[in-house]
Amino acid sequence: MVDRANGSQHLVDIRQVVKTYESAAGSFTALKSVDLEVEPGQFVAVIGKSGSGKSTLINMVTGIDRPTSGEVFVNGTAVHTLSEGQLAKWRGRNLGIVFQFFQLLPTLTLAENVMLPMGFCHTYPPHERRTRAMGLLDQVGMADRASRLPSAVSGGQQQRVAIARALANDPPIIIADEPTGNLDSQMAESIFDLFEELVRGGKTIMMVTHDTDLAARATRSVIVADGRIVNEYVVNALSKLNIDEITLAASKLASRKYQPGAVIVRQGEEADYFYIIVKGDVDVLLEHPDGQEVHVNTLTSGQYFGEVALLRGGQRTATVRASLAGEVEVMALDREGFVEMLGSSDPTRADIDQAIRSRLEQLSGFESS
């Protein structure tokens, strides 16, 4: 994407956003120094528990809500600086918004509902609007019901029309807030299929959902927990955890940074932490009896280490050192949190047991060579 005045090449660029609400009961911070970048053509599922801040995050993108501090750039526009009047016009041309409860106007036909955004934003000549609306309704499989009122079609069909309406002005981004939350599983599946088709056609979609099975089909998942975005490399490393488990694990992770060449763990030392790499590379080294170190492996962002000693005897089986190429950042989980995490998730325990077997085989191969 062409660089614009904001200095960003990202379609969505949220920078250090804080959102605090004030009430008679006191203040509540819904977003805590959040950073998020979304590229053109991505299908992003935003997931999190109720009250985690995921809808507030989406409201920052749409301009429905404003940050207490921080910046929000969408398609080259500094959304946080726009007036209410400017926001309405900008939103109509740049975003297509799909809601959980459809929000079709009940006295307009389905075709008229799709035509409405074109009239509001003056994006197509009046004589072209019905033809475009019919084309969009055909794209979502609803052209044969164009003259019906919303009350004459099912909830899933209304949501299809809502998606056609969101596409009316050909916006680059579709924002969907729990779009399948009011639908049965079969209808939800069909809506998700439609979103996938739109992404293949070049649209960018950001979708808030509580359905982790559907979210797993998106090209990218953003997990929000307690007002913060869980690092995506942590999510990838612990992909078998459900939303409650990853939220709990994330709350216990601590960030640590190491300069190039710094030792993170040393062979023979007592194990106390499990590590997930979120920036840079680390080298795994094995000390031979003659005192020389042999390079065994290089691990990168989204991979983990430290699990072998925590579960097998308590002493580090190898040294792990930050690569000389640059600074390394890891997320560290103490022994108690690590054991608790494995105890709550059999699939994660199975994954880590498999990783342990593979690494012990690799180490034994070097020791015998």
Q: What is the pLDDT along the chain (369 residues), one digit of tens a residue?
A: 333 445 557 999 999 999 999 888 889 999 999 999 999 999 999 988 888 899 899 999 999 999 999 999 999 999 999 998 899 889 888 999 888 787 899 999 999 999 999 988 888 899 999 999 999 999 888 999 999 999 999 988 998 899 999 999 999 999 998 888 777 788 888 888 888 988 998 999 999 987 777 788 888 889 998 899 998 899 888 988 888 888 888 889 999 999 999 999 999 899 999 999 999 999 999 887 777 888 989 999 999 999 988 887 778 888 999 999 999 999 999 999 999 999 999 999 999 988 888 887 776 665 555
Which pLDDT score is estimated for 366?
59
What per-residue confidence (pLDDT) applies to 174? Answer: 93
Candidates 3.30.450.40, 3.40.640.10, 3.40.50.300, 3.30.565.10; correct CATH number of 12-229? 3.40.50.300
CA dist., res. 339 & res. 213, Å (int) = 26
Q: CB burial class (10 A; 0-12, 13-18, 19+) of residue 201?
A: exposed
CB 189 within 8 A of CB 111: no
pLDDT of residue 280: 95
CB 169 within 8 A of CB 90: no
Instruction: Report the C-alpha gap between 127 and 23 in whole angstroms.
Output: 49
- Going by DSSP bridges, is the β-strand pair 69-74/77-78 parallel, antiparallel, or unpaired? antiparallel
Query: 83-110 as b/e, with b when 16 or more CB fall inside 10 Å?
Result: eeeebeebbbbbbbbbbbebebeeeebb
What is the rounded distance in angstroms from the CA atom of residue 112 to the CA atom of residue 130? 8
Cα–Cα distances in angstroms (integers) from residue 303 to residues 122, 254, 311, in the given order: 50, 16, 18
Reading the block at residue 214, the tokens are 């559907």
Which residue ranges does the chain devote to CATH 3.40.50.300? Answer: 12-229
Rounded to whole angstroms, the Cα distance separating 123 from 92 reads 9
pTM, two decimals, is 0.79
As assigned by CATH, the class of the 248-367 domain is mainly beta
Burial annotation 21-48 (CB, 10 A radius, 16+ → b, else e): eeeeeeeeebbeebebebeeebbbbbbb
Q: How many Cβ atoms from other residues are within 10 Å of residue 194's Cβ? A: 18
Closest CA to 243 of 52, 115, 110, 108: 52
User: Where do you find CATH 2.60.120.10 in the chain?
Assistant: 248-367
DSSP 8-state code for residue 117: H
pLDDT confidence of residue 263: 96
Determine contact, residues 176/144, Cβ cutoff 8 Å.
no
